[in-house]
Structure 1
Amino acid sequence: MEFSPQLPVILYHYPFSPYARRIVWYLRLRGISYLECIQPPMLPRPDLARLGIAYRRIPVLAVGRDVYLDTRLILRKLESASVTAAVTAASASASSWRPPLGAPAGTDAAALERLLAVLTTATDLFARAAALLPRSLPLMRDPAFRRDRRDFFFARDGAPRRRQGDGDGGDGGGGGDDAQDDGAEGGEVGAEAEAEAEAAAQRAEALHAVKAAFDLLEHTLLADGRAWVLGGAADAGPTLADIEAVWPFHWMTGIPCMLSDVDDNGDSTATTTSTAQQISSAAFPRVYAWVARFQAAVGAAKERVRAGRVSGEEAARILLRSGFLEREEEVGVDETEPLARACGLRRGSWVEVWPTDYGAAHRDRGRLVGLGPDEVVWETDAGVRVHAPRLGFRVRPAAVAGVVAAPAAGEGKEEGA
């Protein structure tokens, strides 16, 4: 890779997205200074459209004119030596940042780190957690927000998508309740009662799944009283493995009533919920202590990092005047790769790229710059190169060559993950 010490680092996110927090935490713990461009929790997002990006999830990280999608890929890039050199050059001072947080390659610790990432980003744990969001939360009562999340979580035929990457939302719940609400609004009392009963059953199932995840941490990884997932003294601080593991638990324990014995109206359900089913600091003291310890660590790290704020116009101007982090010839299109052979893809081909799970209606198009086993890269008409992981994304020849897709009519309400 070729890099410049002047390359800007800009994070597009909104503060209460749990996926975005993964990146904010990482930047803080590494001591990497950055700019943030705050986005609305719903579409449209003209700030990203300025860059020729239709992708509807949050966060998005730009390092110069290279733009990275999906926290799995973003974290992997931030761990790399060349990106580390580029982003730390712009930090306040050499003493303000730490080396990469990941475990050494080929070790048992690296395997555990990867498995924890799978648990929290490639299973339905987050979707189960989202099902526990109280509908009394202000955003959950916003019809526009509910429609936005339904469009995000559900396919056009109404079937729920299975997640494989960032769920963007995080703040705002699964589409199941939205679909039920819309049906109930049609009017019949019987249908409404049936929908409420189904919602209660889904919440009970979600609570069971979430409790199993708490059990896993409490009685295996944290059972010996360790401060961090990979061990080490409390003052050593968290590692990438902690970031991979903690974010859904940090999110759930931070929202009032999300895990308590209350229904969506705030009424107690203790008579129908056994003590063994409850999720609390009393039931899972090690998990709650770990989350609190992690929060204290990232809170202290915040004081050592510069995080300026820019508007969407300023962000676009800064990025488009900067250089690329990764040289085009080093990214490369592997024309022997099975997908490249099947679709006749080569450098310069116009392609369409979209997530295979949530937010699949929002598709990006551009000129293919890179295609390998782990990553696809395309350049938009705006002049930025967008990087996405291969896992969880689909790549096809574009139907209309040379035209970067814009959100279709009625699809201008985006959400993030």
Structure 2
Amino acid sequence: MAHKLPPIALFGYDSSPFTQKIRLALRFLQLPYTFIIVPSMMPRPILVDNFNLTYRKIPVLAIGRDVFIDTSLILEHLHSHPALRWYRQAQGAGAEIHHDTRGRVLARLLSSHYTDRPLFRLTTGLIPSVVWRTKFGDDRARLIGHVLDPSKLEKKVPKNLASLDTYLSILEPLFLEEQGGWFLGTEQPSAADISLWYQLEWGEKISRGEGIENLTGGGTADGMGEGMKEVFNKARYPGLWDWYERFNTYVDGLPNVETRVERGDEVGIEKLMRMLEDVEQERDVPMLPTPAVSLQGLEERIGLRIGTKVSIVPDDTGRGDPTVGKLVAISPEEAVIEPDEPEVVGKKGRRARIERVRLHFPKVGFVIQPMKEAKL
């Protein structure tokens, strides 16, 4: 019996570290997918026109008509989604990104509270200042909510390098102890290795200016960066460096499972959208497995009743672009909504192409609030 894989579409761009994280995970799991290139800056009409998705961060992953937000949630669904596990078991391909429950929990905590936030702020602080003098700097100022001063950011690079050195120093004993092993002591790499490696790999490149032309949409040429070689090198942190190189070799040995569709490839985009249109929505909402169900009474006390219209925003940046829709499922870790139609999101007269879409958000890192009823 053939096991059919639902279409998987990743929306992102090459110089996005979080996009690279999910590309790594898909390659680990050997899940064939389509990589749709979107702009590094707003607007991104492909997401609004097809899904009514106004959320402005990247990446976004679609598995059929279910659309997943934030890499922390995406990674977990790639591991646990019933249709994907069924396919992988039938194919007998791909490694596991979680080897046991302890590893799964530790990797999630590492990602949500370490690599994706404080470590990312440090690597971002190493971006050459020329980037902040382009339209990309203006776009990210709107995302953050305040003006960015390129000269001040440039002066902070040495401080950020010193802080990065502190982080590396904390990590080094673990990798010295492993001596050829992986982050959590497993025989094969796991999500924990993905979550640290993607951030260091992106930081190493972007700090030298590699990828800034893509990042700024052509606003500046690659180069002009100081790099992080002063603090991240084999002599200073041999255990961490050997792990970094070993992981790179491991990834290079994995078969490619990606079909790439460039922004101007109308034929490729149309082919993908037709595939998504042809998929029937699963009756049951795919949710992360949790040890306990949602506390319905408590959720209702804070206005999160199934069927209620809610607004969802990140709790750090991008709060000016809420996603609005009807709450259709909720758990202790996840909220799922059906997005509002275009009259609400600002595109009167046009409906989203892909109907009956469900948008999945993690609860960690997001604020979910009921919408106030309009008074007549």
TM over 0.5: yes
SS at match of 1:147: helix
Matched, 1:150 2:131: no
How far the C-alpha of 1:110 sits from its partner, in A, is 4.3
Question: CA 1:390 to 1:250, structure 2 compared with 1: closer, same or farther past 3 Å?
Answer: same
CA change 1:199–1:378 in 2 (3 A) is: closer
**Contact residue 131 and residue 202 of structure 1 kept, 8 A:** yes
Q: What's the counterpart of residue 204 of structure 1?
A: 158
Structure 2 distance, partners of 1:148, 1:378, is 27
Note the alpha carbon deviations across 1:309-350, whole angstroms, 9 max, x for none: 37544433322331234614989x95725243222x322222
CA deviation digits over 1:236-290, x for unaligned, max 9? 4x2212112212111122336379xxxxx95989xxx9x9x74333322332332
Contact 1:42 1:145 in 2 (8 A): yes
Q: Does 1:57 align with 2:30?
A: no
CA contact 1:10–1:61 (8 Å) conserved in 2: yes
Q: 1:336 aligns with which of 276, 279, 296?
A: 296
Q: How does 1:101-250 map to 2 (within 5 A)?
A: 101-105=97-101, 107=102, 109-110=103-104, 112-121=106-115, 123-136=117-130, 139-142=131-134, 144-154=135-145, 158=146, 179-181=148-150, 196=151, 198-199=152-153, 201-231=155-185, 236=188, 238-250=189-201
Instruction: Give the aligned residue type for 2:71.
Output: T
Q: Distance in 2 between matches of 1:306 and 1:24?
A: 8
Q: After the TM superposition, which residues 290-309 of structure 1 pair with which residues of structure 2 at under 5 Å, given as runs?
A: 290-303=243-256, 305-309=257-261
Higher relative contact order (CA 8 A, sep 6+): 1
Residue 205 (structure 2) aligns with:
254
CA distance in 1, matches of 2:96, 2:122: 31
Question: SS state of the match for residue 44, structure 1?
Answer: coil
Rounded to whole Å, the distance in 1 between the matches of 2:277 and 2:370 is 26
CA change 1:349–1:145 in 2 (3 A) is same
Q: Which residue of 2 aligns with 1:287?
A: 240
What displacement does 1:212 show? Answer: 1.2
Percentage of pairs with the same residue: 28
AA partner of residue 60 (structure 1): V
| Corresponding residue for residue 394 of structure 1 | 367
Distance 1:326 1:299 in 2: 38
AA at the equivalent of 1:370: A
Structure 2 counterpart of 1:361: 320
In structure 2, the gaps of 5 or more residues are 211-222, 342-351
Count, aligned residues:
337
Question: 1:287 is paired with a residue of what secondary structure?
Answer: helix
Distance 2:31 2:250 in 1: 15
In the TM superposition, what whole-angstrom CA distance separates every residue of 1:160-181 from its partner, at most 9, and x where no partner exists? Answer: xxxxxxxxxxxxxxxxxx6224
1:191-243 Cα offsets, whole Å, 9 max, x none, are xxxxx4x445522321122111111222233444233213356xx4x221211
Q: TM-score with structure 1 length normalisation?
A: 0.71
1:12 aligned residue: 11
How has the CA–CA distance of structure 1 residues 245 and 199 changed in structure 2, closer, same or farther, with 3 Å as cutoff? closer
Mark the runs of 5 or more structure 1 residues left unpaired by the alignment. Answer: 159-177, 182-195, 260-264, 402-417
1:170 maps to: none
Amino acid at match of 2:96: P
Task: Give the corresponding residue for 1:94.
Answer: 91
Q: CA separation in 1, counterparts of 2:307 and 2:184?
A: 44
Q: What amino acid sits opposite 1:298 in the alignment?
A: V
CA distance in 2, matches of 1:27, 1:319: 19
RMSD between superposed Cα atoms in Å:
3.3
Amino acid at match of 1:21: Q
